[in-house]
Amino acid sequence: DAKASGRGAVKFFVEDMALAVRRRRQLGVALRDALANAELSLAYQPIVALKDGRATAVEALLRWTHPGFGVVSPAEFIPIAEETGVIVEIGAYALDRACRDALNWPAHVRIAVNLSAAQFDRGDLEATVREALARTGLPAERLELEITESILVGNHAEVMTKLNRLHALGVHIALDDFGTGYSSLSYLNDFTFDKVKVDQSFVRDVTLPRNSKAVSIIRAVNAIGADLNMTVVAEGVETAEQLQALRALGVSGAQGYYFSQPAPADEIGLILLKEMADSLVDPMARRARR
Ligand code: C2E
Ligand code: MG
Ligand code: MG
Ligand code: MG
């Protein structure tokens, strides 16, 4: 009867919750040893300039493969790592690894590394960044740090001071997932970002047949970017139609599966080298045709 099936549904719900809590706790414990057990790695995804389709930067994305749990998505384990605080250590690893890998790539390509709020709150982020640069020898101008609006919500004045100090090192600062947090525009007023990454939720809607609000929003972000001297990049570009719409809007950069899936360092290195070779060959090919 209805009552019994209602009780059944509640029972399943409670069991699901208990399972989710258990998994979260187990992942939290497993994460403590993930670094030492070499279960973490980085995948890289190019960010391309729409004017010529060539990479201007590459974003480092953490990957975790656990012997028991298998591949765990960053969407699941990053929040857990933030909660337990282990993100400080993992974040330092990602920074170091990314700087090292970037040294093997053409010098015009920046390396973008994501930062969590916990890295601002706990530990000395400026020292961590300075040390990673000194240890690896990567020039500061080649490093880009991606932060989300969630970082800016907490202790505002303190975060601003820390951001300015990072900026003073010469690294670039990008605002990630733009448009998904709150009071985004006030953050643009408080800090001079080098780049704004428009969240993929807007990119998804940019090809809607008529009156797409996403088009208006991206056009507005683009205008602000031009005025404030910020590069505007669209995230999560998956189709030729989306790319075409973004081009028409005058967006300067894009990232997404349409260009490349996140891939291991050596694969990305080959792609970047091939681009370099092509750009050397292109003018010669033109000359030969004349
Ligand atoms: P994010 O920084 O916004 O990174 C972009 C995410 O979109 C990545 O997910 C990427 O794989 C995915 N993506 C790229 N192109 C497309 C596309 O065309 N379509 C769709 N649907 N998705 C696309 P990923 O690798 O699962 O990472 C998720 C989030 O985890 C990142 O979002 C970032 O917030 C966080 N994260 C990843 N690595 C790190 C890290 O080293 N440190 C910190 N603090 N956070 C990280
Ligand atoms: Mg990012
Ligand atoms: Mg993003
Ligand atoms: Mg995102």
- In eight-state DSSP terms, residue 239 is S
CB-ligand 1 contact for 74 (6 Å cutoff): yes
Question: Does residue 149 contact residue 177 with C-beta atoms inside 8 Å?
Answer: yes
Q: Whose CA is nearest to atom 21 of ligand 1?
A: 236
* pLDDT at 246 (0 to 100): 96
* pLDDT at 277 (0 to 100): 86
CB-ligand 1 contact for 262 (6 Å cutoff): yes
Between the CA of 61 and the centroid of ligand 2 the distance, in Å, is 8
Between the CA of 77 and the centroid of ligand 4 the distance, in Å, is 14
Residues contacting residue 5 through CB under 8 Å, at least 6 positions apart: none
Enter the pTM of the model.
0.93
CB-ligand 1 contact for 91 (6 Å cutoff): yes
CB-ligand 1 contact for 62 (6 Å cutoff): yes
* pLDDT at 209 (0 to 100): 75
Does ipTM surpass 0.90 in this model? yes
* pLDDT at 211 (0 to 100): 64
Residue numbers in the chain where pLDDT is lower than 50? 290
Which atom of ligand 1 lies closest to the CA of 146? 2
Q: What is the pLDDT of residues 54-73, one digit of tens each?
A: 999 999 999 999 999 999 99
Q: 156-194 burial, b for 16+ CB within 10 Å, e for fewer?
A: eeebeebbeebbeeebbbbbbbbbebeebeebbeebebb
Task: Take residue 256 and report the two structure tokens written for it.
Answer: 């997404």
